[in-house]
Amino acid sequence: MSAERLRGRLDDGEAMRSRAIEIFRDLGDQRGEAKALHALAEVLKRIGIFQAPATLQATVDYATQSLHLARTIGDPSLQVDALVTLGSAYRYLGQPARATPALEEARELALLLDLRHSQAFVLWHLAMLARDSGRMDAAGGPLEQSLDLVRELQDRRGQAQLLLDFGQVRTDEGRLQEADELLAAALAAWPTHTEDYSFRAKALDALGRLRSRQQRYDQAADHFTEAVSRWAELSAYTAQARSLEALADALVAAGRPEEAPSARQQALELHRHADTGEESS
């Protein structure tokens, strides 16, 4: 999907959900309003992750409103959805002290209601919180539990995504052979009939980081270069910038330092674009 089409779909989705919130509010339908608020929060979270981090605060605001309504009407399933979105938004904002209580509450409710997909998603976020804070030893357990759940549910996409994240954790730990096996398993697990540019871009970036740790720098540079191209098709400015920064490091290590400044400059421009909305050249 092109960048323009992706932006158009996200903008259309935001407009439609905003209108739905107004309609449900006018009708006095609190359940419908809570669902629409949650859906809008999810759209804004995707924009925040891939394009404009500033929209993550709006995700928090809408998810909080959805949670309040879900509690008012006593709908625990809606509460789980809102809490997961709220906790994940705080995680992406780099606020683990706020993310963890929301995710733990979501986990307790999901267990009570036997919502296994929600349990798996919460466990994944808790694992990523541990990884984000450098506690690699605390990330493996929740990832394994989450992986067990998605396997029970026969969710191949979920398995592939979790195997990919597990591979990244093992790379960070320096357990490189295990990382190689997990990343290969992730790519094999992804349903062949399903295209997902964000999964492929994330996998290429993960392979680049693994190859860098293995001191196979030319291969790492190739993976990062392809990841950059995939992120560009998604207008995923922040992720693209991170891959460019890793590409620059790999180029220097590969003995190609003359190619690195261009990648670093592109990364700087993309960070500026994500932060301010200014066009990158």
What is the fold of 1-113? 1.25.40
Segment 211-233, tens digit of pLDDT: 999 999 999 999 999 999 999 99
Kindly report the pTM of this predicted structure.
0.81
pLDDT-flagged residues of the chain (< 70): 1-20, 24, 26, 194-195, 275-281
Separation of alpha carbons 109 and 112, rounded Å: 5
Q: What is the pLDDT of residue 83?
A: 98
Token duo for residue 175: 């357990």
Cα 196 to its chain centre, rounded Å, is 13
Name the class of domain 114-194. Answer: mainly alpha
Pick the CATH number of 197-281 from 1.10.150.80, 1.25.40.10, 3.40.50.2000, 3.90.550.10: 1.25.40.10
Q: What is the pLDDT of residue 193?
A: 73
- Evaluate the CA torsion angle 55, 59, 62, 68 in order and state its sign: negative
Separation of alpha carbons 272 and 269, rounded Å: 5
Amino acid at 136: M
- Helix, strand, coil abundance in the chain, percent, nearest 5: 85, 0, 15
Question: Are 1-113 and 114-194 in the same CATH fold?
Answer: yes
Q: Domain map of the chain by residue range?
A: 1-113, 114-194, 197-281
